[in-house]
């Protein structure tokens, strides 16, 4: 199973949202990381057929997915970024509808749906209309809908948006569990979502892949670039100019500053890099806002 993006370009009028994406994906979880507006959704929409690319192609096992048609789409599970469901349907009805969309038979649908609802702790509300759900419940329902037909390729567009920390972790673990033998593409701008489960991280910015690495490699590349500097309060201003600040914390009556810089500042201690540091390094401080 191999999914290839070849020179994928997408223009919205004059604006270039994707500027030539080349990627080859094999089973495993890929964290598609990038700030808002990076082009993550655009990429996923092209993959799911909701957008037409301007140039380039996506191939699945060597064949253009546009010619594969339903044969490819049937193996796709998609969790859109927007709330996409019928508000008057109950959770149960909606999932059965999705199951029929994927051509499942009734028995299989019943087991899978019960499984998914249980897993995403929606079993209690399964007979309530979705319109009355909270944001987190809606989001979990969308994830459930993407999972019920056991797809080979799972496309999750910011699946953890609107979830509380506990649910975030639960969803992350769930994805880690179901991802076996699947190509999972999970977009997010929140690093911890993919920190421990991703096989590789794909960093996307302004329509370009900045880098594609395993989390370990990324961290390794950052070695010797993150420093912790402890200074007095009145020196904080000055210390900030020494590099990119990725953390300020009070340490007793002094202040500990985490700095991102290739040249070690005087008196600094090397710190262990985290993926948050990686994110900041690639997307700059303004990306965090």
Partner 1 sequence: MRYEWKKLLAQVQICLLLLGVLVGNGIWFFLRCSQDLGGYTMAQIRQVYAAPDTLEADIALLEDPTAAPPLRYTQRPWAELALLTAARDRIAAARDYDAFRQGLVDDAALKERLGLLGPADSFEARSLKRGQAAYEALVGVTPEPVFQGGMEVLLTDRGMDLALGVAVLAGALVLTTLERRSGGMVLSRPTRRGRAALFCRKWAVLACLTGAVWATLLLTDLAVAAGTLGLGAWTQPIQGVYGFEACPAPLSVGGYFAIYVLWKLLWALSWAGICLAAGCATGSPILAVLVLAAMLGGAWCAGESGDLWLRVFSLTRLARLEELAQSAAYLNWMGTPISRPWTALAVLAGMGILSTLTGLGLFCLLPAVPRKAQWPLPLLRGPRHTNLFLWEGRKLFRTQRAALLLLFLALTQVASYGPRRAENTEYGYFYRMYSQILAGDPSPEKDAYLTAEAARLEELTRAFAAAPWDTELYGQLAAEQPFREAQEQYRALKPGQRYLDQTLYRAYFGPEGLRDGLWDLGKVFFVLSLALAGLYPAERESAMTLQLTASGQTRRVRRYKTLWTGILALLIWAVGTLPRLLWAVWTYGPPDLLAQAGAIEGFAWLPGFVSVLALLLSTQLAGLTLTVLAAWIVTFFSRPASTQVPALLLALTVTELPILLLAWWIG
Q: Interface residues with ligand ADP (CB under 6 A)?
A: 12, 15, 17, 34, 36-42
Residues that bind partner 1 (CB under 8 A): 45, 48-50, 69-70, 72-74, 76, 78, 80, 82-90, 92-93, 96-106, 109-110, 127-129, 131-132, 145, 155
Q: Which is nearer to Mg ion, 47 or 271 (CB)?
A: 47
Of these partners, Mg ion, partner 1, ligand ADP, none, which one is at the site of residue 105 (CB under 5 to 8 Å by kind)?
partner 1
Q: How far is the CB of 272 from partner 1 (least distance, A)?
A: 40
Q: Which is nearer to ligand ADP, 12 or 86 (CB)?
A: 12
Query: Widest CA span of the chain, in angstroms?
Result: 69
Instruction: Kindly give, in sequence order, each residue whose CB lies less than 8 Å from that of residue 103, ignoring residues fewer than 6 positions away.
Output: 74
Q: How far is the CB of 154 from ligand ADP (least distance, A)?
A: 17
Instruction: Kindly give, in sequence order, each residue whose CB lies less than 8 Å from that of residue 41, ignoring residues fewer than 6 positions away.
Output: 81, 157, 158, 187
Q: Which is nearer to partner 1, 57 or 114 (CB)?
A: 114
Q: Which is nearer to ligand ADP, 34 or 273 (CB)?
A: 34
Count of positions (residues) in the chain: 289
Q: How far is the CB of 12 from ligand ADP (least distance, A)?
A: 3
d(CA 134, CA 142): 13
How does 74-99 read in b/e, with b if 16+ C-beta sit within 10 Å? ebbbbbbbeeebeeeebbbbbbbebb
Phi, psi of 196 (to 5 degrees): -100, -10
């Amino acid at each position: 199973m191999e999914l290839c993006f070849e020179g994928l370009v997408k223009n919205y009028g004059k604006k270039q949202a994707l500027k030539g994406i080349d990627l080859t994906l094999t089973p495993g979880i890929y964290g598609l990381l990038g700030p808002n507006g990076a082009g993550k959704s655009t990429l996923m929409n092209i993959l799911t057929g909701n957008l037409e690319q301007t140039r380039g192609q996506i191939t699945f096992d060597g064949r253009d997915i546009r010619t594969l048609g339903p044969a490819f789409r049937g193996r796709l599970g998609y969790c859109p970024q927007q709330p996409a469901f019928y508000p008057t349907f109950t959770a149960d009805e909606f999932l059965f509808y999705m199951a029929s969309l994927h051509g499942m038979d009734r028995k299989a649908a019943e087991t899978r749906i019960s499984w998914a609802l249980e897993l995403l702790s929606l079993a209690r509300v399964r007979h309530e209309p979705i319109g009355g759900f909270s944001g987190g419940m809606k989001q979990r329902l969308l994830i459930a809908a993407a999972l019920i037909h056991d797809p080979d390729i799972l496309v999750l567009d910011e699946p953890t948006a609107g979830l509380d920390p506990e649910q975030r972790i639960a969803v992350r673990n769930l994805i880690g569990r179901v991802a076996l033998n699947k190509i999972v593409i999970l977009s997010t701008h929140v690093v911890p979502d993919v920190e421990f489960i991703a096989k590789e991280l794909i960093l996307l910015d302004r329509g370009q892949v900045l880098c594609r690495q395993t989390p370990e490699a990324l961290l390794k590349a950052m070695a010797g670039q993150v420093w912790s500097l402890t200074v007095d309060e009145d020196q904080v201003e000055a210390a900030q100019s020494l590099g990119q600040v990725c953390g300020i914390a009070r340490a007793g009556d002094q202040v500990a500053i985490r700095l991102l810089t290739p040249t070690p500042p005087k008196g600094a201690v090397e710190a262990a890099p985290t993926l948050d540091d990686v994110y900041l390094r690639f997307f700059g401080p303004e990306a965090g806002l």
